[in-house]
Amino acid sequence: MSTIRLAFTYARRELRSGLKGFRIFLACLALGVAAIAGVGSLGQAIEAGLRADGKVLLGGDVSFRTTHAPVSAEQRSWIEAQSDLVSATVEMRANAFAVAKDTRRLVELKAVDDAYPLFGSVELSGEQNLDVTISNIDGVWGAAAHPGLTERLGIAIGDKVRVGDLTLEIRSLIVKEPDKGTQAFNFGPRLLIALPALAETNLVKPGSVIRYFYRTDLPEATSPATLRQAALEAFPNAGWRIQDLENAAPNIQRFVDRVGSFMTIVGLTALLVGGVGVGNAVRTFLQSKIGTIATLKCIGAPASLIFYTYLIQVGIIALLGIAIGLIIGVLAPLAALGSFGDSLPVEGQFAVYWEPIAIAVAFGILVTLVFSLWPLARAKTIPGIALFRDLVAPVSGFPGWKAFLGISALAITLAGLAVFTSSQPHLAVRFVLGSIATLVAFWGIAALVIRGSKMLPRSRRASVRLAITNLHRPGAATVGVVMSLGMGLTVLVAVAMLEDNLNNEVSYALRGEAPGYYFIDLQNDQVQTFQDIAANADYAVRTEIVPMLRGRITSLKGVPVSDITPPAEDAWILRGDRGLTWTAGPPNSADSIVRGDWWPEDYSGPQLVSFDAEAAAAFNLEIGDKIEVNILGRTIEATIANWRQIDWNDLGINFVMVFSPGALQNAPMSHIATAYLDEENELTLEDAVVRTLPNVSAIRVKEVLGEVQVILTKIATAVRIIAIVAVIAGVLVLAGAIAAGQKGRIYDSIVLKVLGATRKDLVFAYGLEYGVLGIVTSFIAIILGGGAAWFVITRVMEAQWSVSAMPVIATVVPALLVTVGAGMIGTWAALNKKAAPLLRNE
């Protein structure tokens, strides 16, 4: 009978006795596979929703968007000629004043035509019809409002609001807006009106930040890509941004990708930690089979038969664990979508997605092999009689070069799979390297604890000495406990410190140096009025006012933007419109110019531009390089005159590009102003400005930061939930490490009791042992987790680093209690065993 067939036969016989001893193995593997399959499936469900709802989210097959001004009549005719139907909408921010009350609110105003929406439908309260809601009835235009607006203004359906010069009647509340999901952040609740009503508000002024959308329903024969290409050819200098179904909701797509990447990485951490448990379980399993293996070897079984017999058993059990994990992982999105699906802007499409399943299976198999081949190969190579002494006098742990190379190749494959399946390979590479470093660090710490405990002077107290020697005795649980708990705890500490730092960043801005307000859409003839309001206030207020336009970079150094692949962190600069300004004099702080020179105040030569220093370095732009920017349909070429170092964290007025006076001076523009004042005077200033200048939008920075904080907290909570999966994996492995030593612990406890050890002696000894392990592991996890958080905060986010004790304590103390508790549960079980049955002669 061939070796493999015989191995299957022996494996089957051994598995008849059940899966006892493999429960932790199954749990570890199932948890890790479930995490990866679950996160991947949820991501695919949301992406499928994005694809299915693409047209609804985008509002059409293709969307053309301009800022400041609508498309020309020629462009509009062209678009209509290519489409079956076109819907035009206009969006801007405005102030809504309750007519009967002294309340007002900044709103996201949206004016729509009769064709809106092209796809999907607007759901309104009371089953109202949109056309009727926003129509002009007896000279009064209607509006549909987000419930947040009516609550804030203290009004109800039927009440009136004033927007600019127009009075509107609130006729319905918006329940669902089909194309809202494409917007990442809103400064106010939605107010929906008819397009003709917008003109009567008199808010449409040159240079105002107004977005014009033209959504198309294309004929079947026309693809979005075809239309996009045709548009570029027909109007090469058009200032519009074209979106199609491929990038219908880029913000959501990016968010799903990024969060999905991070959660997959945390799932991988859980699987890696589980791998430690898998390795422990296989080691323990082989230990329990020493007699069988030695017997087989003594009666002539070749080493390969031993290896394949136990590899097959491990493989069968691993497949079972993977199957359990897949079932949970595939069903998890159903639970997740059911729980928080309403919070998502798209409807997730629950289904069985084979790609994340295949990836999870591959990870599960690789982790099993990487962590179990070493003990399997060792059992194969060492002589039979040495197996009986292996616990206390291990033969060299090296399993042979063939096995070592095989395990190394599998480990590299595992790392490669992690990198290539990630939507952010750079992050994945850092994760792989970080994980290896962390595993090695904790293994090293465990070795140090073992060595250190051997070197400690012998304590006079028996229970203390017992605790210390338990740390380094053959078969001690030290390595298993430190590694299992360490990885999960490191992730949890990193997440806690990241969240704390991000909250501090927001709080810092809230406390101090950020402006109290941004005022946008100040017209040229309103600047003096604004300055007078500030000057005449009976409280201190400092203002900054700069002109602002919006434009889109179309080329860098002669290379079209469409041909440039920007670094991920700087890609936003080339995406869509950017705010830009012009000025004659240099910025307030001359120190911010880090390369090149500022132009003279009376400069009137060819267009120059000052560029953000970090972005310039990222795009390899040098002084003298040329860039092209499309502003209101006109392409402006400018030469880079200097690099400017910008501190974005102060939340003041900052622009990636500041132009010299020239062509921009005469462009239609508005102004943006910031106001710095004490919090107690903020609402007074806002009131004075918007009542005098009702077209000006006042954005209160504290409110915005407050909303940011809420979003950060929600994200941190979601991330922390996933991070807890890694900790659960660690606890499982810890339980496995304790369970593996349980038989020995029971025996030792009974013998020690026979020799006169009291319960108190043993409880103290084991409690001290696990306490030391827990404290050492926690300490290292704080250093490693804190280090990872520091790197992300200072190097990736370039923010201020701060350390608070509370989040660390709140994370580490429960982990410490779990470690000691788990150890004591095992100990208590051992102490309660009756001595006589174990001591009887066989």
Partner 1 sequence: MTDNTPSDPNTVVLLKNVHLTLGSEAGPVNILRGIDFEALRGETVSIVGPSGSGKTSMMMIIAGLERPTSGQILIDGREIQDLNEDSLALLRRERVGIVFQGFHLVPTMSAIENVAVPLELAGRNDAFIQAKKMLGVVGLDHRLTHYPAQLSGGEQQRVALARAFAIEPKILLADEPTGNLDGTTGEHIIEQMFKLCAEFGTTLLLITHDPDLAARCSRSVSMADGLLSEVTKSEAPTARAV
Out of 469, 639, 649, 684, the residue judged to bind partner 1 by CB under 8 A = 469
Q: Which residue has the tokens 């220093």?
A: 613
Buried b (16+ CB within 10 A) or exposed e, 768-802: bbbbbbbebbbebbbebbbbbbbebbeeebebebe
- Number of residues in contact with partner 1 under rule CB under 8 A: 37
Q: Which of residues 379 and 631 has its CB atom nearest to partner 1 in the complex?
A: 379
State which of residues 342, 538, 591, 842 lies at the interface with partner 1 (CB under 8 A). 842
CA distance 740 to 23: 11
Give helix 250-288 / helix 701-740 axis angle, nearest 10°: 10
- Strands (E) across 493-573 are located at 517-522, 541-556, 559-560
**C-alpha distances in angstroms, 9 versus 2, 221, 318, 652?**
11, 63, 18, 74
Which segment (309-317, 515-523, 751-759, 784-792) binds partner 1 by CB under 8 A?
A: 751-759
Stretch that binds partner 1, among 110-118, 202-210, 740-748, 818-826 (CB under 8 A): 740-748
Lay out the site mask for partner 1 across 601-640 (x = CB under 8 A, - = otherwise).
Answer: ----------------------------------------
Binding residue for partner 1, selected from 315, 384, 452, 475, defined by CB under 8 A: 475
Contact track, partner 1, 374-403, x by CB under 8 A: --------------xx-xxx----------
Please report whether residue 743 would count as binding partner 1 according to CB under 8 A. Answer: no
Q: Residue 284 CB: number of other CB atoms within 10 A?
A: 23
DSSP secondary structure code for residue 65 in this structure: E
Is 774 in a helix, a strand, or coil? helix
Does residue 833 interact with partner 1 by CB under 8 A?
A: no
CA distances from 29 to 309, 356, 730 (A): 21, 16, 12
841 binds partner 1 (CB under 8 A): yes
Between residues 408 and 459, which has the closer beta carbon with respect to partner 1?
A: 459
Q: Is 474 in the site for partner 1 (CB under 8 A)?
A: yes
What is the four-CA torsion angle of 790, 711, 186, 571, rounded to 10 degrees?
30
Tokens found for residue 609 = 């531009």
Q: Which stretch binds partner 1 (CB under 8 A): 153-161, 172-180, 744-752, 804-812?
A: 744-752
- Candidate segments 54-62, 368-376, 583-591, 745-753, binder of partner 1 by CB under 8 A: 745-753
The whole-angstrom separation of Cα 487 and Cα 492 is 9
**578 burial type by CB count under 10 A (0-12 exposed, 13-18 middle, 19+ buried):** middle
Least distance (Å) between residue 297 CB and partner 1: 17
Assess 288 for contact with partner 1 (CB under 8 A).
no
CA distance 358 to 257: 19
Residue 744 in contact with partner 1, rule: CB under 8 A: yes
Count Cα neighbours of 438 within 13 Å in the Cβ-side half-sphere.
Answer: 31
In the complex with partner 1, the residue whose CB is nearer, 338 or 394, is 394
Spatial CA neighbour of 282 closest among 742, 740, 744: 740
Assess 836 for contact with partner 1 (CB under 8 A): yes
Is 300 a binder of partner 1 (CB under 8 A)? no
By the rule CB under 8 A, 760 interacts with partner 1 = yes
Q: Which of residues 406-465 bind partner 1 (CB under 8 A)?
A: 458, 460-462, 465
**What x/- string results for residues 88 through 107 when contact with partner 1 is judged by CB under 8 A?**
--------------------
Q: Which stretch, 197-205, 396-404, 496-504, 741-749, contacts partner 1 (CB under 8 A)?
A: 741-749
Rounded distance between C-alpha atoms, residue 546 and residue 340, angstroms: 42
Task: Single out the residue of 19, 651, 761, 829 in contact with partner 1 (rule: CB under 8 A).
Answer: 761
Placement of tokens 């809103």 in the chain: 186
* Residue choice 711, 751, 809, 813 for contact with partner 1 (CB under 8 A): 751
Nearer to partner 1, 232 or 754 (CB): 754
CA 163 to chain CA centroid, Å, is 38
- From residue 641 to residue 680, what is the string marking binding to partner 1 with x (rule CB under 8 A)? ----------------------------------------
Compute how many other C-beta atoms are within 10 angstroms of the C-beta atom of residue 73. Answer: 8
Q: Interface with partner 1 by CB under 8 A: which residues? A: 388-389, 391-393, 458, 460-462, 465-466, 469, 473-476, 744, 747-748, 751-761, 834-836, 839-842
